[in-house]
Amino acid sequence: MRRVLRALKLEVSKTYFWTDSTIVLSWLEKECKDLKTFVANRISIIRTLTVAEQWNHVPSKQNPADLISRGMDPVKLQLCELWWSPSFLLQPEMTKCRDSSIETNDLYIRELKSNPSDLLSRGLKAESLPHNEGWWNGSSILQSDELPETVSECSDPDENYLPELKSKDDIVLTLNSNKPFFDYIVNRSNRILTVVRILSILFRFISNCRNRESKRKGQLTSEELSEAEHYLIKQCQFEVFSAEVTAMMSGDNISNKSKILNLSPFLDNKGVMRVGGRLENYHIQVNIP
């Protein structure tokens, strides 16, 4: 509706909404706390944009939105009077339709939370009340004059019971993708710190799966972040200088055609490629990747 109002660029004093579902209209008049979760969530969204007084009922025969769904030809649609304006839109005042019989509709009642006090207001006769399960709001055994026998634990659960149990089996998930894992992780963010943290969490997960007796918990440690950072650097280096890294890993000489040969590259104890250059004669810790 907001988009329609912006597109019209007109001053509109009142807005109305129509639906051909009397059940939905009845739900709109109920408090969200009285409805089951699925319906309540959707009604709450509608309530944030509209109020119940704005909603009206349109019979299906007078609903222009149903014309195409009934299979009307587009040429005939232009000549159809209903398509251009239902008769009730020409009335000076909007009359709100309220079907009282909806209170006893099964679909409407099914989406209401169990509230025994609503039964009489829905039209249930007093003599039928003692025999209504909803009035007792409990198991059928509560309506019996005799106490039930002791209920033992279910020894032969049925098929409806088993799916609700948590599985104790280990589940292994695999993902087949043509996209390299490293590229996928790097493209998740344009901030290197974010990528490092993602890698750290993944490495912790792998470590916890392999060593269940000594799982890592809590905040990420500096060692974990450093491990992920080294992995990120090595992958970037291998992507650009794969020939040089492969040669150094196998102990071979780097090709004379390499662009970084004059920088005296070497691999440190973590497998990160570093260069000598001006710092090769200084007795300081190697920290330049």
Same domain, 1 and 137: yes
Same domain, 238 and 189: yes
Report d(CA 231, CA 272) in Å as an integer.
8
Report d(CA 191, CA 212) in Å as an integer.
32
Instruction: Give the tokens for residue 91.
Output: 């009335």
Residue 288 lies in a domain: no
Residue 206 lies in a domain: yes
Instruction: Give the tokens for residue 38.
Output: 């699925």
* Residue 55, C-beta contacts closer than 8 angstroms, at least 6 positions apart: 16, 17, 18, 19, 25, 28
Residue 265 lies in a domain: yes
203 neighbors 197 (Cβ within 8 angstroms): no
Domain tally, the chain? 2
Report d(CA 47, CA 160) in Å as an integer.
36
Which secondary-structure segment (H or E) carries 275?
A: strand 273-275
Residue 154 lies in a domain: no
Same domain, 136 and 210: no
Q: What is the pTM of this model?
A: 0.37
Report d(CA 261, CA 276) in Å as an integer.
10
| pLDDT given at position 178 | 59
Residue 30 lies in a domain: yes
Out of 120, 142, 164, a domain closes at: 142
| pLDDT given at position 33 | 77
DSSP secondary structure code for residue 137 in this structure: T
Residue 162 lies in a domain: no
Same domain, 10 and 105: yes
Residue 45 lies in a domain: yes
Q: What ranges in 15-154 are assigned the alpha helix state H? A: 22-28, 37-49, 74-79, 81-84, 106-110, 133-136
275 neighbors 265 (Cβ within 8 angstroms): yes
C-alpha dihedral over 129, 132, 137, 140, to 10 degrees? 130
Task: Give the residue from 16, 40, 38, 36 showing the smallest Cα distance to 28.
Answer: 40
The number of angstroms, rounded, from the C-alpha of 155 to the middle of its chain's C-alpha atoms is 37
Same domain, 138 and 2: yes
Residue 158 lies in a domain: no
Same domain, 129 and 192: no
Range of the domain at 239: 181-275
Same domain, 128 and 203: no
Out of 84, 111, 142, a domain closes at: 142
Same domain, 138 and 200: no
Same domain, 126 and 11: yes
Same domain, 35 and 117: yes
Out of 93, 115, 142, a domain closes at: 142
Same domain, 194 and 135: no
Same domain, 98 and 2: yes
DSSP secondary structure code for residue 110 in this structure: H
Report d(CA 52, CA 46) in Å as an integer.
9
Instruction: Give the tokens for residue 242.
Output: 């794969």
Q: What is the pLDDT along the chain (289 residues), one digit of tens a residue?
A: 778 888 887 888 888 888 888 888 888 888 877 777 888 888 888 888 888 888 888 888 888 888 877 777 888 888 888 888 787 787 777 666 555 555 555 555 565 555 566 666 655 566 666 666 666 554 455 555 565 555 444 444 455 444 544 555 666 666 565 557 777 777 777 788 888 998 899 899 989 998 888 888 889 999 999 999 999 999 889 888 999 999 999 988 899 999 888 888 889 888 899 887 545 544 555 555 5
